């Protein structure tokens, strides 16, 4: 699933590559992709027709675009890529439809195409004057952004006080910190020298502060590298991200640690695979 860096890369590409795209026609090819208005793809299409996609912002793994029709606010378009969703931008190009094309936004020879192999991606139309969280209820449960000043060791210590769940599991909880997934939880724990299975409430504020700092650094590094393309993620123009080639531990079971040479271990925590170095990530460090 695309995580914060991949979604941020998509946001920047949409902001700078698509510009003020004017939607003349909307074609919904898979009804369940439209989460709101519920069960009414025609209303969704009508709400976006003759609208410009203007500013794009990200909240966690969600994307939100301001819609403008004839100079007036016309609500917002919300998108969650989920596991395999991605956008393609076609500027006058002739590209055959693939069988996984779910929604097409067309206008004046241009097209913004939403492709989703596993069909878990979702879109919402948020009416003007309505809070996005009222329509996209998942926004209500999000914790702070990793880049926010409020996200630090003191916050994590308070938030995880009394919790014995593994720190890796806590990092995947979107109500604790927004946008982090399996890849970057593994990576920041390695860089902070913390094993993924250690109980959250056993970590000191200093360790948690170090963890926050490493999370911010690894996310920023991945954004700079265009994200990670282990499977389905592609940029707007279909290009792979480069961070996966530099991953410290994620996706490298049994490979030698890039620091010490010890074999990278893999274990399942909370139903998710975790990758870590038993030498570089020891309890009590």
Catalytic residues: 2-3, 61, 272
Q: What's 63-83 look like in SS3?
A: EEEEEEECCEEEEEEEEECCC
First to last CA, the chain: 31
> Side by side, which strands form the sheet with 101-107?
25-28, 101-107, 110-116, 85-91
CA 4/CA 123 separation, integer angstroms: 18
How many helices and strands in the chain, by DSSP H and E?
7, 12
Residue 62 sits at the vertex; the CA angle it makes with 181 and 10, to the nearest 5 degrees, is 85
DSSP 8-class letter at 279:
T
Q: Which residues pair with 139 in a beta bridge?
A: none
């Amino acid at each position: 699933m695309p995580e914060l860096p991949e979604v941020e890369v998509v946001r920047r590409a949409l902001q700078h590559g698509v510009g003020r795209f004017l939607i003349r026609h909307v074609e919904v090819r898979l009804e369940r992709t439209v989460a709101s208005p519920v069960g009414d793809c025609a209303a969704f299409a009508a709400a976006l027709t003759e609208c410009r996609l203007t500013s794009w912002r990200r909240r966690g793994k969600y994307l939100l675009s301001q819609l403008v029709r004839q100079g007036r606010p016309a609500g917002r378009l919300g998108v969650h890529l989920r596991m395999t969703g991605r956008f393609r931008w076609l500027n006058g190009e002739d590209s055959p439809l693939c069988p996984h094309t779910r929604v097409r936004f067309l206008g004046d020879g241009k097209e913004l195409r939403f492709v989703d192999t596993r069909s878990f991606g979702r879109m919402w139309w948020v009416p003007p004057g309505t809070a996005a969280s009222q329509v996209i209820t998942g926004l209500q449960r999000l914790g702070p952004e990793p880049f926010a000043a409020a996200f630090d060791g003191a916050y994590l210590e308070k938030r995880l006080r009394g919790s014995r769940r593994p720190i890796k599991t806590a990092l995947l909880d979107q109500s604790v910190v927004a946008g982090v997934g399996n890849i970057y939880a593994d990576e920041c724990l390695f860089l902070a020298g913390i094993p993924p299975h250690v109980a959250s409430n056993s970590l000191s504020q200093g360790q948690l502060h170090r963890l926050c700092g490493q999370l911010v650094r690894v996310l920023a590094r991945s954004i700079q590298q265009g994200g990670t393309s282990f499977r389905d993620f592609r940029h707007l123009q279909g290009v792979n991200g480069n961070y996966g080639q530099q991953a410290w531990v994620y996706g490298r079971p049994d490979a030698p640690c890039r620091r010490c040479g010890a074999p990278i271990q893999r274990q399942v925590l909370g139903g998710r695979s975790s990758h870590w170095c038993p030498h570089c990530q020891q309890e009590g460090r």
